[in-house]
Amino acid sequence: MSHNMQQTSVSPVELASLPAGAMVLIDIRKPGARAVSGLAIPGSVWRHPFDAANWAREFRHCNVALFCVHGHEVSQAVCGYLSEMEIDAVIMEGGFEAWKQAGLPVETLAEADV
């Protein structure tokens, strides 16, 4: 994992190699981007990125890894918010696109999940 004063991140390959249950993987792609993709990372949970105030507490005692489409503004903003709430959060470097480019597993979204 990469650490600096402002941000903590993990590569998709590092994240995929962690033991099951070591981190909760939270998909914070905006609803439209998620629907257009039609894909998800197996085992990830989706939460609306602009509603973190309402869902953050459920992850209070978890280590979480956040991903948006590319790992930029959306992930950084939500990660900052979770950190202020004293939740251990990291950003997946490169977001969902980097996960796909690394050849890591994806699954089709069920229609009810879109």
> Domain-by-domain residue ranges, the chain?
2-105
Q: Check residue 63 and give its pLDDT.
A: 93
Reading the block at residue 90, the tokens are 């990291």
- CA distances for 5 relative to 8, 17, 60, 73, angstroms: 8, 25, 21, 17
Q: Check residue 108 and give its pLDDT.
A: 95
Contact in structure between 82 and 56 (CB atoms under 8 Å): yes
Q: Is 72 helix (H, G, I), strand (E, B) or coil?
A: coil
Q: Check residue 52 and give its pLDDT.
A: 97
pTM: 0.90
**CATH code assigned to 2-105:** 3.40.250.10
pLDDT tens digits, one per residue of 71-94: 989 999 999 999 999 999 999 999
Strand partners, 64: 24, 89
Q: Check residue 34 and give its pLDDT.
A: 95
Contact in structure between 46 and 114 (CB atoms under 8 Å): no
pLDDT at 20 over 90: no
How many residues does this entry show for the chain?
114
The closest alpha carbon to 109, from 15, 41, 30, belongs to 41
